[in-house]
Amino acid sequence: MASGRRACVTVLLCSLCCMTFAVILRTIDNDVWVNEFDSTELTCFIESTSTNSPRIEWKKVKNGVPSYVYFQNKISGDLENRALLIEPATLLIPNVSRSDSAMYRCEVAAIDDLKDFDEIRIRLAVRVKPVVPQCSVPSSVTAGHFTELRCKESQGYPLPHYQWFRDNEELPKDPKTSIRFYNSSYVMNAKTGSLKFRAVRKEDAGEYHCQARNDAGYENCAPQLMKVYDSEIEILVLKIAAGVMSFILLTAGLRLARKHICCSRRDQRENDYRVPPRDSGKDDVRADEGHFQHKPSFVV
């Protein structure tokens, strides 16, 4: 009994002294998510200390490499001029950049405390809005053939999900769930951005665009037209027609150009012919001047 009571007293004393002579830190959130360009606070509260002005330091650990963020009462490193320390030891970043994603450590040393050091770790993850995705849509395909459309974005964090649209209408994840897309053979992969038609149909033709989206926002690529032809022969005929058309245009253009060159050359030649007579004309005028002097009445 007596030893039990003694143990009890010891525990009580110990917890009492721990409460008064130990530095203890606390945070609201040790896994902080924030959108790029927003403001964030990495909270670090000093729960207890008996030291008047404990030494506060913040470190950033990125890819295993630590660097100082707050040291000797100054913000330093790549957060210099971009962060503030607010009472008691919270780090405020008013305009978060994607490079701020890292593990942060608030460290407080309190020399007058029995337990004179404590630290807390906070992970900061910066969400980055996707940029406009790169989309590849074949302009003409043959009905019944395999066809793939691709969409890719490189900046978004967390990795964006992709959604395809046809004529501004969202494609359902599974075509079988929609009356309109029921007969379509596509498989859409929201993670990779691919849209694969096992056998494309004429009804699948239209203007396609894709959207990349994450929690920070979304972006769309410009719609691109995909035409579906009945057969390769049709495409071939169209290609030949286009070829013939461009050939006709080219020949016409060449003929026109030749005519132009020819005419301007003829103009030049005509000018050459005219040069001597013009000169002689001038001579005539000069000769006439002599006559005018003789017959001033002629001027009137």
Ligand X SMILES: *[C@@H]1O[C@H](CO)[C@@H](O)[C@H](O)[C@H]1NC(C)=O
- Which residues in this chain contact ligand X in the complex, by CB under 6 A? 37, 95, 97, 179-180, 182-183
- Shortest separation between residue 50's beta carbon and ligand X, angstroms: 40
Tokens of 133: 């995705």
Residue 198 CB, nearest approach to ligand X (Å): 15
Which residue, 79 or 106, has its beta carbon nearer to ligand X?
79
Choice between 163 and 184, CB closer to ligand X:
184
Question: Measured between alpha carbons, how far apart are the two ends of the chain, in Å?
Answer: 151
The strands making up 134-136's β-sheet, listed across from edge to edge, are 134-136, 147-152, 195-197, 186-188
Nearest distance from residue 82's CB to ligand X, in Å?
Answer: 9
Least Å from the CB of residue 116 to ligand X = 39
Looking at the Cβ atoms of 21 and 37, the one nearer to ligand X is 37
Give the residue from 240, 247, 234, 209 showing the smallest Cα distance to 140. 234
Q: How far is the CB of 44 from ligand X (least distance, A)?
A: 24
Rounded CA separation 158/142 (Å): 37
C-alpha span between 126 and 103 (Å, rounded): 12
* Gyration radius (Cα) of the chain, Å: 41
Query: Quick one: 97 or 224, whose CB is closer to ligand X?
Result: 97
**Burial class of residue 161 (count of CB atoms within 10 Å of its CB; 0-12, 13-18, 19+):** middle
Minimum separation from the CB atom of position 64 to ligand X (A): 25
Reduce the DSSP state of residue 32 to 3 states and report it.
Answer: strand
**Secondary structure class of 275 (helix, strand, coil):** helix
Task: Report the residue number, 96 or 137, with the smaller CB distance to ligand X.
Answer: 96
Contact 49, 113 (CB under 8 A): yes
Q: Which residue has the tokens 């999900």?
A: 161
Residue 183 or 192: the one with the smaller Cβ distance to ligand X is 183
Q: Which is nearer to ligand X, 95 or 251 (CB)?
A: 95
Please, what is the minimum distance in Å from the beta carbon of residue 199 to ligand X? Answer: 13
Where does residue 55 rank: exposed (0-12), middle (13-18), buried (19+ CB within 10 A)? middle
What is the spatial distance between Cα 35 and Cα 101, in angstroms, rounded to a whole number?
A: 11
